[in-house]
Amino acid sequence: AIVEKGNYRHFMAKEIHEQPEVISHTLASLVDMTSETVRLPSLPFDWKNLSRLTISACGTASFAGQVAKYWFERYARLPVEVDIASEFRYREAPLEKGGLSLFVSQSGETADTMAALRYCQENGQHTLAVVNVPTSTMSREADAMVRTLAGPEIGVASTKAFTCQLAVLACLAIGAGKARGTLTPEAEKELVRALIEAPRLMAEALRLDHEIEACARDLSKAKDVLYLGRGTSFPLALEGALKLKEISYIHAEGYAAGELKHGPIALIDESMPVVVIAPFDAIFEKTVSNMQEVAARGGRIILITDEEGAKAAALPGAKTIVMPAMPSVVSPLVYSVPIQLLAYHTAVLIGADVDQPRNLAKSVTVE
Ligand code: G6P
């Protein structure tokens, strides 16, 4: 089928705006809306018997894997190792027989991720792939597959495939927690109820487009941008920086907020915008104190938070994007929206080719 841009200027804009819909579809395939429980397809292994989960992926998909680490460890008490596939495949990592390896990929064709999968199969692992293209090599070769229902993604910079990966991984982590007895039925319900709010919350976030575009004006003049976050907002900071680099060619780095003082703080001055991703959650205060360190050195802050967070942060100089309040399990999905829009508008302002950035390919099938 031919995919059209419709009324959008770029595929990327269309794909960003499609997210409430495709997240709905993806969640509907994995949760039972009436009983508010997850309903995973039958999988050829038992979550109860696992002592470790190994996740491998490349690029944006690897950041989805990094978010999932927090979820699997929190909800299923399952230790997780996340690795970039190009590193994992050559490291000859020792793997316990009967362990579970999970692969995340939009295309299902990425050469390094495929090699990691084959390595795991040769080493007695169960393999599970989270893939968007159901006819791909990875879907065929993995023992089991769970689909992201993002539909075809044309923009080279991944957007809706990423948030659909997050939706699937959240469901897997909840399902694992349920199977391992680390989540009570009430806790499961609460998480599922939160997840099914994601499409509505994402639609609300999309309405902040104009405010985000105003912040992008600031970014479009910068040479370097720093993204900070803690907890699941840390991989999101990495993803935000990657998106900006990919499509606007502005140098950006994502950092764990707590690591700021161990290096990047030396870079802070008036010329470097710092994007802080900080929903008002259990670790909010910690991120705010890192933000104050930035402010004290004249750094220009763009804070993405909610109303409570904006009040508590009370930073006069900061530009604030005020998101709706939400349970923390959905924040990585919903906060992806402003992160993507920031990169998108910055690239458009610069006049870059948003859908086909130089030197990049949609799917990297050679090493
Ligand atoms: C390429 C794309 C990225 C993508 C990465 C992994 O570099 O430009 O957007 O995140 O490959 O691709 P996959 O299809 O495995 O998710």
Q: What is the pLDDT of residues 320-348, one digit of tens each?
A: 999 999 999 999 999 999 999 999 999 99
> Is pLDDT above 80 for 2?
no
C-alpha 206/C-alpha 359 separation (Å) is: 29
Question: Quick one: pLDDT at residue 358?
Answer: 87
Any bridge partners for residue 55, and if so which? 82, 102
For residue 126, list its beta bridge partners. 100
Separation between Cα atoms, residue 308 and residue 319, nearest integer Å: 15
2 vs 347: CA distance, rounded Å: 25
At 363 the pLDDT is 85
Phi and psi of 302, rounded to 5°? -110, 110
Atom 11 in ligand 1: residue holding the nearest Cα: 363
Question: For residue 360, how far is its CA from the centre of ligand 1 (angstroms)?
Answer: 9
Closest ligand 1 atom to residue 360 Cα is 8
Whether 169 has a pLDDT exceeding 70, the answer reads yes
Residue 156 Cα: closest atom of ligand 1: 8
pLDDT band at 367 (very low <50, low <70, confident <90, very high): confident
What letter does residue 48 receive in the DSSP assignment? G
Q: Which of 121, 65, 61, 54 is nearest to 88 (CA)?
A: 54
CA–centroid distance, residue 74 to ligand 1 (Å): 27
pLDDT in tens, 124-165: 999 999 999 999 999 999 999 999 999 999 998 999 999 999
Residue nearest to atom 5 of ligand 1 (CA): 59
pLDDT at 122: 97
79 falls in which pLDDT band (50, 70, 90)? very high
Whose Cα sits closest to atom 4 in ligand 1? 59
pLDDT at 1 over 70: no
- What residue ranges in 29-179 does DSSP mark as E strands? 31-32, 37-38, 53-57, 80-84, 100-105, 126-131, 144-147
Question: Among residues of the chain, what percentage have pLDDT more than 70?
Answer: 100
240 close to 268: Cβ distance less than 8 angstroms: no
* Nearest atom in ligand 1 to 246's CA: 8
Residue 311 annotated among the catalytic residues of the structure: no
At 226-238, the pLDDT tens digits run 999 999 999 999 9
Ligand 1 neighbourhood includes 158 CB (under 6 angstroms): yes
Q: Is 356 in the pocket of ligand 1 (CB under 6 A)?
A: no
Radius of gyration, CA atoms only, the chain = 20
b/e sequence 230-267, b meaning 16+ C-beta within 10 Å:
bbbbbbbbbbbbbbbbbbbebebbbbbbeebeeebbee
ipTM of the complex: 0.97
Task: Please state, as a whole number, how many other Cβ atoms lie within 10 Å of the Cβ of residue 359.
Answer: 6
- Ligand 1 contact via 129 beta carbon (within 6 Å): no
Report field, pTM of the whole predicted structure over 0.95:
yes
The whole-chain average pLDDT of the chain stands at: 96
pLDDT digits (tens, 9 = 90+) for 170-213: 999 999 999 999 999 999 999 999 999 999 999 999 999 999 99
Q: How confident is the model at residue 264 (pLDDT cuts 50, 70, 90)?
A: confident
Q: What is the pLDDT of residue 103?
A: 98
Residue 346 to residue 249: CA distance in whole angstroms: 10
For residue 273, name the pLDDT band (cuts at 50, 70, 90).
Answer: very high
Is there an atom of ligand 1 within 6 Å of 106 CB? yes
Query: Who wins on pLDDT, 120 or 294?
Result: 120
Amino acid identity, residue 349?
A: L
The contacts of residue 154 (CB under 8 Å, 6+ apart) are: 3, 11, 15, 355, 362
Give the mean model confidence (pLDDT) for residues 4-21. 95
Angle at 160 between CA 156 and CA 162, to 5 degrees: 85
**What is the pLDDT at residue 314?**
86
Does residue 57 surpass a pLDDT of 70?
A: yes
